[in-house]
Amino acid sequence: MSTTNEHTSSGVYDTIIIGAGPAGVAAAIYAIRREMKVLLIGKELGGQVVLSNEIENYPGISSINNFDLIAKFDQHLKSAGVETKISEVKVIEKTSAGTFKLHTAKESFETKTIIIAMGLIPQRLAIPGEERLAGKGVSYCANCDGPLFKNKIVAVVGGGNSALDAAEVLSKIASKVYLIHRRDTFRAFEELVDEVKARENIEILTNCEIKEIIGENKVEKLSVLNNQNGKIRELAINGLFIEIGRIAHTDLVGELVKRNERNQIIVDEKCRTSSEGIFAAGDVTQTEFKQITVAVGQGTIAALAAYQYLQLKQGRSANVMLDRGKKK
């Protein structure tokens, strides 16, 4: 079995997992335990865990820093011998032989099954200045970029847990935080709302919408509309954190599998999609509850279901729990 980051594009894989967040990592670990030839391809290791802070709801681990959890994912993948590539799958083709060909910018791989674990990405505001100033003061990750704004003035836009969490984190780094929300109430945990309201350096602007992000080469100002009185004001800031939710970006597989109206992939209880040989797991599916434990559970199901699918195709037992796992 090849090891992490080794170049191996020869031979047909039993399964290729797209996305190396919690769902993809769990799927890879289970697939290799079933002695499948598996490749895990992800743009980065950890997925949205990179964006979170302290994880406090993983059974057996009362609290763990997000980067420590990702380091543990990495160690586990390496010790299990999972072949991992940090890359983006750009194109997927179905072959006449019933397999799939996956293409990254530089390499191509053939596989009998696919597990889609592409997760969610931050929703954009889609206003002038956003794209141009992304990475120049516009950020989608308070935990990653917050330290760049020590003693500066920042704004957070959004009204859910992520936005309030970001405002709270940033209030400990920046000198002032504006929390901008287009409605008059928040959709977040009550205690988090109370905590944010109690912070002296957070100014809450409700019923307000950002119309434009202004700046030459970096964020300098926001143009903010008060949707109650129609007045526009300009806020001088150094950074804007956009925390307005996350969306599924699944055009890559749009012609292969059925999706719902939110572009999430529809799966059944075995994480099977509408297309034979293609499975999906984690936040990218229609599952309502988007949590690490749910993603890990679905990753497990998808790997075992892919294994079972291949076993049945070869006329073998459908019992996935026969212990074919590698013994140490």
Ligand X SMILES: Cc1cc2nc3c(=O)[nH]c(=O)nc-3n(C[C@H](O)[C@H](O)[C@H](O)COP(=O)(O)OP(=O)(O)OC[C@H]3O[C@@H](n4cnc5c(N)ncnc54)[C@H](O)[C@@H]3O)c2cc1C
Collapsed DSSP state (helix, strand, coil) of residue 8? coil
Residue 36 CB, nearest approach to ligand X (Å): 19
Q: Is residue 70 close enough to count as binding ligand X by CB under 6 A?
A: no
Q: Is 208 a catalytic site residue?
A: no
By CB under 6 A, name the one of 16, 38, 55, 267 that touches ligand X.
Answer: 55
> What pairing do the DSSP bridges indicate for beta strands 153-157 and 239-242?
parallel
Cα 56 to chain centroid distance, Å, stands at 18
Burial class (CB in 10 A: 0-12, 13-18, 19+), 320: middle
* Count of residues that interact with ligand X, criterion CB under 6 A: 34
Residues 78, 50: Cα–Cα separation, whole Å: 19
Which tokens go with 279?
Answer: 């499975």
Identify which of residues 105 and 321 has a Cβ nearer to ligand X in the complex: 105
Cα–Cα dist 263/116, whole Å: 13
**Nearer Cβ to ligand X (18/219):** 18
Cα separation, 223 vs 221, in Å, equals 7
Return all residues near 315 (Cβ < 8 A) that are at least 6 apart.
none
Q: Is residue 267 part of the contact set for ligand X (CB under 6 A)?
A: no
Q: Does position 159 bind ligand X by CB under 6 A?
A: no
Among residues 68, 74, 145, 251, which one is catalytic?
145
CB atoms within 10 A of CB 122: 17
83 binds ligand X (CB under 6 A): no
Is residue 194 annotated as a catalytic residue, yes or no?
Answer: no
Among positions 51, 155, 196, 244, the unique one binding ligand X when judged by CB under 6 A: 51
Report the run of H or E that residue 233 belongs to, with start and end. Answer: strand 232-236
Q: Nearer to ligand X by C-beta: 48 or 111?
A: 48
Which one-letter DSSP state was computed for residue 140? S
Both tokens of 39, joined, read: 């490749």
Q: Look up 145 and say whether it is catalytic.
A: yes
Binding segment for ligand X (CB under 6 A), chosen from 1-9, 131-139, 168-176, 278-286, is 278-286
169 binds ligand X (CB under 6 A): no
Nearer to ligand X, 59 or 315 (CB): 59
Which residues make up the interface to ligand X (CB under 6 A)?
A: 18-24, 41-44, 47-49, 51-52, 55, 57, 88-89, 117-120, 162, 252, 282-284, 290-293, 295
